[in-house]
Amino acid sequence: MRRPSVPALVVLVGGLLLADFLIVNESLGQLASIVVDLAILVAAGAALAAVASLGLRRSMDLWRRRGDPLGAGFVLVGIAIILVAGLRPGSEGAADPAVRWILVALLIPIGATLFGLLFVFTLLAARRSVASRDRAATLLVAVAFLTLLLLLPLGGDAGAWLGGAARWALEVPIAAVFRGLLVGIAILAAVFAARTMLGIGPRDE
């Protein structure tokens, strides 16, 4: 037998927040604020549980010497550094200068390196796609190459023409594709929400 507790809770919370958005009422606003605070606490608890689970798993990997002990050690050291920087006495939490320095000095360069490698891997994937002689893959690579040509930083009349063509491509065909994707995603989200609220599952079809 289906349990309607979760869909009922989703409908109740969603209706409360919608009513708070449409109706100006102090008591209703306070109740909605409490619900939002509870949701934030639940999300924070889930995040802490995920970090604890990751730390425990990596600790077991390091203790039993399985998987990648070096990577597990780096993960544990990173978790410890962030916890010490954010929870030490006198710390400002996520806004603490030490935490910001860790993010700027370590995480941002790592992300930039990964994006730099992504360009190389994209070229390799494009080469394999063309070599496979698949029509869709070849068309995708050709469009990507054409877009790259349109975005070249050239001056003069040629640069102005390329810039205008790039703006037209972004504002007309590409924007039309994105609008279609957004409409499709919105329809799917509405259907999924209605099925959840009404308790309709695959067995009911």
Question: Residue 107's CB: how many other CB atoms inside 10 A?
Answer: 11
Range of the domain at 129: 104-150
Q: Are residues 58 and 116 in the same domain?
A: no
* Domain end among 36, 60, 87: 87
**Final residue of a structural domain among 87, 112, 132:** 87
Q: What per-residue confidence (pLDDT) applies to 1?
A: 43
Residue 176 lies in a domain: yes
The answer to whether residues 51 and 19 belong to one domain is yes
Whole-angstrom Cα distance, residue 141 to residue 125? 9
Q: For 53-77, how does the pLDDT look when each residue is reduced to its tens digit (9 = 90+)?
A: 888 888 888 888 787 788 888 888 8
Whether 39 and 76 share a structural domain: yes
In the chain, the percentage of residues whose pLDDT exceeds 70 is 91
Max CA distance (Å), the chain: 71
* Residues 75 and 60: beta-carbon distance below 8 Å: no
Query: What is the rounded CA–CA span in Å between residue 85 and residue 93?
Result: 8
How many domains does the structure of the chain reveal? 3
The pLDDT of residue 111: 82
Which residues of the chain are under the pLDDT cut of 50? 1
- Could you tell me how many residues make up the chain? 205
- The pLDDT value recorded for residue 3 is 54
